[in-house]
Amino acid sequence: MDDPRGLYDIVAEDGLVPEGLPLVAALTGFTDAGGAVSQLGDYLLDSLQSSVVVEFDADILLDYRARRPIITFDQDHVSEYEPQTLRLHLVTDELGQRFLFLNGFEPDFQWERFAAAVIQLVDRFKISTTTWVHAIPMPVPHTRPINVTVSGNRIELIDALSVWRPSTQAPANVLHLVEYRLQELGHPIAGFVLLVPHYLADTEYPATALVGVESISSATGLIFPTDRLREEGRVFASKIDEQVQSNAELARLVQTLEERHDTYMEGTSLRSPLTDVDGELPSADEIADELERFLAGNRPGDDSPEATGR
């Protein structure tokens, strides 16, 4: 394997980053149910003071044809080019506590080398703990809190917060590999998988970003502003509730999801919030189809008559 140091450049001044900070990671890629990771990254970097510490080389790590950069075309010429980025930021929370934030695209290539590069940076900056977040769709109702599955070696977080603990095989995120390698080294690491209602997986669901922020806080003690996310979540939820309440069939389907979710959470013999006692998947695809049609033209902040049902 080529030297991982060739994947990135340290662009911060020497001595800018103190040793012993926590590392938080959120990379967009294979799955990002509810837009959790993309919203989380944008929210933290927009809301908090930050500076770039490390820049990864997109020409090595990114498949441009799979995730094409955005250009702005102004009448007769290209006026702006927005490339995909993968960066390590130094960020300050609301209480003045600093942390490192790895954010951007999930690498398409050279995963082992990238994982080795992250481990190099963990060692270089004497990272205290690593916490990462991603989100997957699940047949659970939006009327219940978004739960999480916690992985890694921080047993206190797993015991306190992990609701669903499956034994299964699933497609990996590159941060699964990073977690695996850091765990082998005994480095404290926790991964939070947000369990997002499957019928909202293709929307920007503000509640997912809020739960992501709260998960990071629980693992690191960092404090973040959340008022905007909470308000956006309330507006978004009210639009969904209005749509469900106006359709008896949708209401019944949501009720079915609620019953299965509540039964699972009560600690009965159900092995998973996905299935009933016979191991069958909930028949809730109809709710996804209808709500996705409703939400296709509506996003948080859309106050048009069509969005509000007036």
Q: Dump pLDDT digits (tens) for 115-152.
A: 999 999 999 999 999 999 999 998 888 989 999 999 99
DSSP string, 112-141: HHHHHHHHHHHHHTT---EEEEEEEEES--
Q: What is the pLDDT of residues 64-121, one digit of tens each?
A: 998 899 999 999 999 999 999 999 999 999 999 999 999 999 999 999 999 999 999 9
Clarify whether residues 286 and 200 are in a common domain: no
Beta-bridged to residue 255, according to DSSP, are none
Pair 24, 175: CB distance under 8 Å? no
Q: Which of 196, 224, 252 is the last residue of a domain?
A: 224
Say if residue 163 is in the same domain as residue 28: yes
100 and 117 inside one domain? yes
DSSP H/E element including 178 = helix 174-184
Domain boundary among 224, 249, 265: 224
Residues 202 and 240 in one domain: no
pTM of the model: 0.85
pLDDT of residue 310: 36
Give yes or no: residues 76 and 190 share one domain: yes
One domain for residues 51 and 191: yes
Same domain, 67 and 138: yes
Task: Give the three-class secondary structure for 280.
Answer: coil
Q: Residue 49: in which H helix or E strand, if any?
A: strand 49-56
* 216 and 269 share one domain: no
Length reported for the chain: 310
Contact 19, 125 (CB under 8 A): yes
Domain containing 216: what range?
4-224
Same-domain check for residues 156 and 113: yes
Q: How confident is the model at residue 179 (pLDDT cuts 50, 70, 90)?
A: very high
Q: List C-alpha distances in Å: 198 to 65, 94, 201, 218, 282.
A: 27, 33, 5, 25, 11
Residue 104 DSSP SS3:
strand
26-35, 248-257, 292-301: which is most confident = 26-35
> Both 296 and 155 in a single domain?
no
CATH code of the domain covering residue 175: 3.40.50.10900
Question: Could you say which of 174, 207, 224 is where a domain stops?
Answer: 224
- Our count of domains for the chain comes to 2
Looking at the structure, do residues 238 and 202 belong to the same domain, yes or no?
Answer: no
Asked whether 232 and 299 are in contact (CB, 8 A), the reply is: no
